[in-house]
Amino acid sequence: MSAIGNDIYVLCEARTDDFRPATYELLAAARGLTAAAGAETVAPGSDVPEGGGVTALVAGSDAALAGKLEGLAHRVVAITAPELTPFLADPWVEALGAVIAGGAPRAVLFGESGRTRELLPRLAARLGGWGLSNCVDLKRADGDAGALEVSRPVYGGKAYVANLVPADVLLLAAFRPHSFDANAAPGGLATVVEDVAAAVAASRVELLERAEGGPRKVDLTEAAVVVAGGRGMKGPENFGLLEDLAAALEGAVGYSRALVDAGLADHAFQVGKSGKTVSPTLYIAAGVSGAIHHVMGMDTAKVVVAINTDPSAPIFEYADYGVVGDAVQVLPALTERVRAVAK
């Protein structure tokens, strides 16, 4: 691969009619980093600043939304080919691999998602780059002007490790939702849009059918508020109470492993080590005991509320606010109060 430049690429991922919040967060992080490197100086005749610019990669059907990135990146590369829609990893890896290899960026930032889990490792292997998942922070390293420092939790969040990324290394890193503030760096950049028609082979994996889950406004992993139910919810007849509070808070509902393993809730909505990892601003654990398995899926939440009948339940050790009581009774009261202040 050619020498590494200073540009930072962000793979932008859309959901229906807009990009995922993570896309805007990552673009802001990239703008912050390139500004720190003196990217405001634009070389004559060049699209991107000498010190490194921000390139937004959009591919397949997501490319139709490229206009939404106006001002948020120096450059938008819109990659299209019939093989890229619907999403299948093979043609995406081939198309993105060619664009990244050609542009030789410093880093490619991804939001954590199922799609990223298919793409990032294969791109890292294909390009000989350095892949990292689950990251929560990225900044310029202290004392080493060229290096970046990237942090991520390990051992279920029991510790964090920070890695140095030397200047001559291609980093491919996936970040958890809410890792950055989408408004932390100003937009207003002059954005150049480049269209790339990718020549890629058809996927070796064939899509037979795609079933859409029910309509969900907010995805569990990227919701700002998560309301999670555990065994203390007693049974599915009470799950509506979780939905009601989540709706009032514009959040998503999750379930503990106990409910999933009992066949009462879908694994797609399980929070915990063997389910989803969430990192919301507010996490409300209703009738969840707080087994280590569960805590590992939510302990990077900013504020945690626990509701449990047992005052000695371990979940209270991981909570900021605790209510000792029956979640089935507390939830409706809480929903009512939340609705009252939301008005």
Partner 1 sequence: MKVVVLVKEVPDLEAAVKVTGGGSGLEVEKRRGLNFFDEIAVEAALKLKEAHGATVAAVSAAAGTGVEAMRRAVAMGVESPLLIDDATLEGADPLTIARALAAAVSLDGFDLILAGKQATDDEAGLVGPMVAEILGIACVTGVTTLEVADGVATVSREVEGGSEKLRVTLPALLTAEKGLYEPRVPGMAGTMKAMKVQIARTDLATLGVTAHPPLPVAGYRTVGARPPVTMIQGEPDDAAAELVRLLREEAKVL
Residues 53-92 contacting partner 1, CB under 8 A:
89-90
- Taking CB under 8 A as the criterion, the residue among 50, 130, 187, 314 binding partner 1 is 130
- CB nearer to partner 1: pick between 185 and 323: 323
Query: Among 264, 320, 271, 325, which Cα is nearest to 294's?
Result: 271
- For residue 294, the minimal CB distance to partner 1 (Å) is 11
- Binding of partner 1 by 156 (CB under 8 A): yes
Task: Give CA 250 to chain center in angstroms.
Answer: 18
Q: Which of residues 158-197 bind partner 1 (CB under 8 A)?
A: 158-166, 169
How many residues interact with partner 1 (rule CB under 8 A)? 92
- CB nearer to partner 1: pick between 197 and 340: 340
- CB nearer to partner 1: pick between 49 and 251: 251
Q: What is the CA radius of gyration of the chain?
A: 22
Q: Which of residues 299-328 bind partner 1 (CB under 8 A)?
A: 299, 302-306, 311, 316-326
- For residue 26, the minimal CB distance to partner 1 (Å) is 17
Q: Write out the two tokens for 238.
A: 């009470």
Q: Any bridge partners for residue 110, and if so which?
A: 174
Q: Which of residues 245-264 bind partner 1 (CB under 8 A)?
A: 249
Ramachandran sector of residue 96 (left: φ over 0; alpha: ψ -120 to 50; beta: rest): alpha
- Taking CB under 8 A as the criterion, the residue among 1, 43, 145, 154 binding partner 1 is 154
- Binding of partner 1 by 17 (CB under 8 A): no
Apex CA 294: angle with CA 292 and CA 295, to 5°?
Answer: 65
- Taking CB under 8 A as the criterion, the residue among 23, 80, 256, 277 binding partner 1 is 277
- Binding of partner 1 by 238 (CB under 8 A): no
Give 132-197 as a DSSP string: EEEE-EEEEPTT-TT-EEEEEEETTTTEEEEEEE-TT--EEEEE-TTSS-TTSS-----PEEEEEE
Apex CA 159: angle with CA 153 and CA 161, to 5°?
Answer: 60
- The backbone torsions φ and ψ at residue 104, rounded to the nearest 5 degrees and listed phi first, read 45, 60
- For residue 52, the minimal CB distance to partner 1 (Å) is 19
- Taking CB under 8 A as the criterion, the residue among 5, 51, 103, 121 binding partner 1 is 121
- CB nearer to partner 1: pick between 77 and 306: 306
- Taking CB under 8 A as the criterion, the residue among 23, 80, 113, 256 binding partner 1 is 113
- CB nearer to partner 1: pick between 56 and 124: 124
Query: Among 230, 236, 220, 242, which Cα is nearest to 291's?
Result: 230
Query: Among 81, 77, 70, which Cα is nearest to 55's?
Result: 77
- Binding of partner 1 by 94 (CB under 8 A): no
- For residue 96, the minimal CB distance to partner 1 (Å) is 13
Other beta carbons less than 10 A from residue 254's beta carbon: 34
- Binding of partner 1 by 136 (CB under 8 A): no
- For residue 247, the minimal CB distance to partner 1 (Å) is 15
Distance CA 160, CA 300 (A): 11
- Binding of partner 1 by 47 (CB under 8 A): no
The contact pattern for partner 1, residues 202-231, with x = CB under 8 A and - = no contact, is -xxxxxxxxxxx--x--x------------
Where b means 16+ CB within 10 Å and e means fewer, 118-152 reads bbbebbbeebebbbbbbbbebeebeeeeebbebbb
Q: Are strands 321-324 and 107-111 parallel, antiparallel or unpaired?
A: unpaired
Q: Which region among 34-42, 58-66, 107-115, 186-194 touches partner 1 (by CB under 8 A)? A: 107-115
Ramachandran sector of residue 71 (left: φ over 0; alpha: ψ -120 to 50; beta: rest): left
- Binding of partner 1 by 126 (CB under 8 A): yes
- CB nearer to partner 1: pick between 46 and 329: 329
Query: Among 107, 167, 159, which Cα is nearest to 138's?
Result: 107
